[in-house]
Amino acid sequence: MKSLNKEQKYLIVSELASWYSPEELRLLFDIKYNDIYYYCNKYGIQKYREFHSKLKQEYLNDFEAWKEEQREVRLDEVKGQLGL
């Protein structure tokens, strides 16, 4: 693979660092870990782990809200059928 210039590295890191691990970016584009972290830190790009932790927490929060809503709906249905 040809050597990437700074603009190309920035483009790759800014678009993919949140979605692909540093190892995957290294394999796909031969970008070193230090370069990935440099661009993430310099430009405030979320790193893979922190981004995925945030996504997971949002998903779990949404799941808990959905679960509580389903509990209430089912309770209301049963109470309605019992005439309570």
| Regions of the chain short of the pLDDT cut 50 | none
For the CA atoms of 28, 36, 43, 52, the dihedral, rounded to the nearest 10 degrees, stands at 80
Q: Write down the pLDDT at residue 84.
A: 87
CA distance 57 to 63: 10
pLDDT computed for residue 1 by the predictor: 66
Burial class (CB in 10 A: 0-12, 13-18, 19+), 25: buried
Residue 32 CB partners (closer than 8 Å, separation 6+): 26
